[in-house]
Structure 1
Amino acid sequence: MTPILSQAGRDLDAAVREFIARTGADHARYAAGRTLSPAEAREVAEKVRAPWRAGGPKMRASDDRMIRTAQGPLRVRIHDPDPRPGKPVLVYIHGGGWILFSLETHDRVMREYAARAGVVVVGVDYDRSPEAKFPRALNQCVAAIEWVAAGGVGPAADPARIAVGGDSVGGNMSLAAAVKLRDEGRPDVISALLLNYGAFDVDLDPQDVARYGGDGYMLLAEEMPVYWNAYLARPEDAQNPLAVPARAELAGLPPVFLTIPECDVLAGQSHTLAARLRAEKVAAQAQVYAGASHSFLEAVSISDLAARALQDGARWLGETLSHTQAAAR
């Protein structure tokens, strides 16, 4: 029998609630009450997420490549949905608290965006924490973006039309990458940012914690300090805008789409970011999904709400990157 979550989760969409229940039950089964090392936690997470990456759109071509970076070799995964040359690119940075998840866990999400938006998706296999500390993973993501911008994907991709996006901590590093490139005098490398339920600040909104930070909503408030401590190399990094982009100046960034699940302990961070972006005259569209939780996009195989959110983001990508193409002519 699928376990029923606490009363706290009753405001969730039914399919999202099922997703949380099933992943929670599988995690309990595979973890078996053990205290897990990071490597063991990753192994369990891969097993738990395996059913959710299956199925979905088929690509014209999918392949992994090793690229050279200043941090050493880096694996990227390229999903090309159709034979058209010169398609826009979405560089996708997966979430997982910097500790968990992978190109495999997020493979379906990446293929969904590729098919729905008609873009080449390049997933980044960054090094995870606590073995890799800030700024290693961020620098790897920036290196992957630079590789795409230099024409590394080949004729299928238009290196002048690059969006960068991700979920949870992938949203953090997507925003931080744009800030870093802007501060280095290269604001035009990234044309759009797709930020799905991002972790932008070390501080949580107390109201979000009270309402959505406990059992039943996928991401627990008590998990976030664990993830931040794994990522940050030293306490003062919590003031570094490239580690904690809530501290960053936002003027001069590209257009932004924020996917905000209503029932997420991080939701307030996206709302705050959207307001700050607009105050700086950055085009920002924030879309709230009632009944959605953290990680809900991964439930697309059973959730119409997840499918709608993916389609909304894909539509926005298509419109925004087509404007970039028109402006370049």
Structure 2
Amino acid sequence: MTAQTLTLAGTDLDPDIARFIAITSEAYRSHPPFETLSPTEIRAVAEAVREPWVKGGPVMVRTEEHSVPTPYGEVRVRLHDPLPPSDTPKPVLIYVHGGGWMLFSIDTHDRLMREYAARGGFVVIGVDYSHAPAARFPVALNEVLATIHWVRDHAKALGVDADRIAIGGDSVGGNMSVAAALSLRDSGEGNLLKGLVLNYGAFDDTCAPEDVERYGGDGYMLTAEEMVVFWDNYLNSDTERQNPFVVPMRGDMAGLPPAFFAVAQCDVLRGQSLKLAEKMQAAGGDTHTIIYPGASHSFLEAVSIAPLAAQALEDGSQWLRKIFAL
């Protein structure tokens, strides 16, 4: 990284997003360094640091937790319904949280899911998938796929519409959302998903050099070095990097549902979203991409203080309303 880049670090951030990063970074510094902690201890610190950002926000009419059977045991899911009971089934967004496959949960992303539900007027179901490195590929992805099938099969009991299911996520949640869509398409179930909401996703195992140079160091929430650690803890071997269910950028994008890309301008993963959107378009896909100036990785979680995050959540919610024909 050049001296100029170090001098510029953080200066192009939206002021509210910069404050979010500063507060979060200070909170992490109050805990022991990650290199001295076990994976379980690291997750506990990450949960504690993110907890204040989950408070407040929309109140749901109905919140339920369920256990979904998977090949590895049961996975916890949380349903948020912003609407009164109705005989008309409601569309549903299945949300896959980020965290490098190693961190975070449906608790850290609870407000984000409630924001989507309230702004869009649809049900949101979050998946509390298993963490790496104890659970490496394909465990978390298969848990997401099992949840999609469970929602379809139990739609009536859940009060949701089996014909209006979308999936979305942030960071590696975006990765697994695309991977799930690829898997369903390849198994002949491509029509099961109506749309993809992809927030600053990790779609490739390498970052664009210009993004690494400008945004890959400290000051932008996610570093290039952290992404290397995340990938190394998710993969069983380097040969899996050729698998499009692991690295969606290597997949054939034909026949996927429409996709909404929320791209953070100041993010080491910025170029991956733009490149994947172009690849989807070239394959005949319907994509809608918005670049949010001054936004960093994880910026949606700053919704309590950042109008920019609120706007991005509103944009994604309104796009889904169109997809769901609401």
What is the TM-score when the length of structure 2 is the normalising length? 0.95
Shift of 1:154: 2.2
Q: Say which SS state the counterpart of residue 67 (structure 2) adopts.
A: strand
Residue 115 (structure 1) aligned to one of 113, 118, 121: 118
Asked if 2 retains the 8 angstrom alpha-carbon contact of 1:259 and 1:288, the reply is yes
1:232 and 2:235 are equivalent in the alignment: yes
Q: Say which SS state the counterpart of residue 322 (structure 1) adopts.
A: coil
Q: Which residue of 2 aligns with 1:313?
A: 316
* Alignment of structure 1 residues 125-274 onto 2, 5 Å: 125-152=128-155, 154=157, 156-274=159-277
Q: Which residue of 1 aligns with 2:97?
A: 94
Shift of 1:72: 1.5
Deviations 1:19-75 (A, max 9, x none): 000000000102357622211110110110000000000000111111222222111
Question: Which piece of structure 1 moves more, 72-81 or 308-317?
Answer: 72-81
Shift of 1:304: 0.1
In structure 1, the gaps of 5 or more residues are 324-329
Q: Say which SS state the counterpart of residue 157 (structure 2) adopts.
A: coil
Question: Which piece of structure 1 moves more, 148-157 or 259-268?
Answer: 148-157
Q: Which residue of 2 aligns with 1:327?
A: none
Residue 297 (structure 1) aligned to one of 288, 291, 300: 300
Query: What is the rounded CA distance, in whole Å, between the counterparts of 1:35 and 1:262 in structure 2?
Result: 32
Q: Say which SS state the counterpart of residue 30 (structure 1) adopts.
A: coil
Query: What is the rounded CA distance, in whole Å, between the counterparts of 1:168 and 1:113 in structure 2?
Result: 17
* Distance change in 2, residues 1:129/1:155 (3 Å): closer
Query: What is the rounded CA distance, in whole Å, between the counterparts of 1:140 and 1:155 in structure 2?
Result: 19
* Distance change in 2, residues 1:135/1:155 (3 Å): closer
Deviations 1:171-196 (A, max 9, x none): 00000000000000110011100000
4+ residue runs over 2 A deviation? 31-34, 151-156
1:82 and 2:83 are equivalent in the alignment: yes
Query: What is the rounded CA distance, in whole Å, between the counterparts of 1:168 and 1:228 in structure 2?
Result: 12
Query: What is the rounded CA distance, in whole Å, between the counterparts of 1:126 and 1:13 in structure 2?
Result: 32
Asked if 1 retains the 8 angstrom alpha-carbon contact of 2:70 and 2:142, the reply is no
Aligned residues, how many? Answer: 319
Question: Which piece of structure 1 moves more, 312-321 or 76-85?
Answer: 76-85
Asked if 1 retains the 8 angstrom alpha-carbon contact of 2:16 and 2:306, the reply is yes
Give, as a single letter, the amino acid of the residue that structure 2 aligns with 1:166. G
Q: Which residue of 2 aligns with 1:326?
A: none
Q: Which residue of 2 aligns with 1:69?
A: 70
Residue 124 (structure 1) aligned to one of 121, 127, 146: 127
Shift of 1:137: 0.4
Q: Say which SS state the counterpart of residue 191 (structure 2) adopts.
A: coil
Shift of 1:240: 0.5
Deviations 1:250-271 (A, max 9, x none): 0000000000000000000000
1:39 and 2:40 are equivalent in the alignment: yes
Shift of 1:227: 0.2
Shift of 1:153: 6.4
* Alignment of structure 1 residues 279-298 onto 2, 5 Å: 279-298=282-301
Query: What is the rounded CA distance, in whole Å, between the counterparts of 2:18 and 2:156 in structure 1?
Result: 38
Q: Say which SS state the counterpart of residue 77 (structure 1) adopts.
A: strand
Query: What is the rounded CA distance, in whole Å, between the counterparts of 1:217 and 1:142 in structure 2?
Result: 31
Query: What is the rounded CA distance, in whole Å, between the counterparts of 2:7 and 2:294 in structure 1?
Result: 15
Asked if 1 retains the 8 angstrom alpha-carbon contact of 2:277 and 2:287, the reply is yes
In structure 2, the gaps of 5 or more residues are 1-5
Query: What is the rounded CA distance, in whole Å, between the counterparts of 2:38 and 2:181 in structure 1?
Result: 32
Question: Which piece of structure 1 moves more, 149-158 or 308-317?
Answer: 149-158
Q: Which residue of 2 aligns with 1:25?
A: 26
* Distance change in 2, residues 1:241/1:29 (3 Å): same
Query: What is the rounded CA distance, in whole Å, between the counterparts of 2:40 and 2:156 in structure 1?
Result: 31
Asked if 2 retains the 8 angstrom alpha-carbon contact of 1:6 and 1:216, the reply is no
* Backbone CA RMSD of aligned residues: 1.4
Shift of 1:152: 4.3
Asked if 2 retains the 8 angstrom alpha-carbon contact of 1:42 and 1:101, the reply is yes
1:277 and 2:268 are equivalent in the alignment: no
Percent of aligned positions with the same letter in both sequences? Answer: 54
Query: What is the rounded CA distance, in whole Å, between the counterparts of 1:59 and 1:30 in structure 2?
Result: 33
Q: Say which SS state the counterpart of residue 148 (structure 2) adopts.
A: helix
* Distance change in 2, residues 1:155/1:107 (3 Å): closer
